Amino acid sequence: MIGSLDWMHWQWKNCPTRWGGQYTGYKGKPTIIFEAVTSYDTWIWHAFFGLPGSLNDMSRGETPQVSYEVQNRHYGQCYYLVEGIYPKWAIFVQAIKNSRTSQTKHFTRMQEAYRKDVERAFGILQARWAIIRGPVRGWSKENLQFIMMTCVILHNMIVEDEHDEDAAEPFDPNDIPTIPKKAHIYDRIPDQDTSVHRNPNRLNQFMHRYREVRCPLMNKNLQDDLVDHLWSMKLQADENDQ
């Protein structure tokens, strides 16, 4: 599991009229989406800002390649914890609505508990930087992106400064956080040519990866395996306590 993925809307008070419809979503006012992935200590290690507020699907279908097993089933993709608005893809794991069994209820509680990391990070960002707490009055999208990314970098600097690396912490094999040491800011348009239509082998690899990422069956299998895995861990912990 990479981390908790979510987004927040930043109201764009001075949005140009010609863009009003594109940037107006369910909130009824023009907004710009800020997407982030956070770890348990609110470190923001993925951030993207600039999508219109009318968009709900921000995924490009790209994930790092990994290898692991859950309930004796092999998986070759990492995944994010997300809310129900995200599509049923192999890289997303949502909570289970209307859970009826003890297993699914336990899984949903665990999923929602870890999902609070990213929501807490958004709250800390808005509490620290008043400029992103209220409606933005800027005109240029580029300047707004600089403002948001500056707040993210300053936030990560504070998190890193407050983290005591020398402090003795109990080792838990079931909770091993990954905290990147550097933050990267990527341009919205890559400099290199990413077209794949001229290379048949590269195109086939891309299409295979594309189908794997968007596979709803893999999403269901991973969710079911995680439900069983977490439930077995809970039963084992209960036995040890007794």
User: How much is the pLDDT for 1?
Assistant: 76
CB atoms within 10 A of CB 65: 9
User: What is the crossing angle of helices 102-128 and 216-241, to 10°?
Assistant: 100
CA distances from 19 to 15, 29, 33, 132, 181 (A): 7, 11, 14, 20, 38
Question: So what's the pLDDT on residue 163?
Answer: 72
**Contact present, 106 and 231 (Cβ < 8 Å):** yes
pLDDT tens track of the chain, all 242 residues?
777 888 888 888 888 887 777 778 766 788 888 888 888 888 888 888 877 755 544 444 455 567 888 888 888 888 888 888 888 888 889 999 888 899 999 999 998 888 888 888 899 999 999 888 888 887 788 888 888 899 999 999 999 888 765 554 544 444 444 444 444 444 544 444 445 456 777 778 778 778 888 888 989 999 999 999 999 998 888 888 77
Q: Are 35 and 51 in contact (CB under 8 A)?
A: yes
- In this prediction the pTM is 0.66
Contact 93, 115 (CB under 8 A): no
Tokens 């600039």, residue located = 50
**Residue 56 has what pLDDT?**
46
Residues 242 and 30: their CA atoms lie apart, in Å, by 55
Distance, in Å, from the CA atom of 215 to the CA atom of 223, rounded to the nearest integer, reads 13
The angle at the Cα of 6, spanning 115 to 74, to the nearest 5 degrees, equals 65
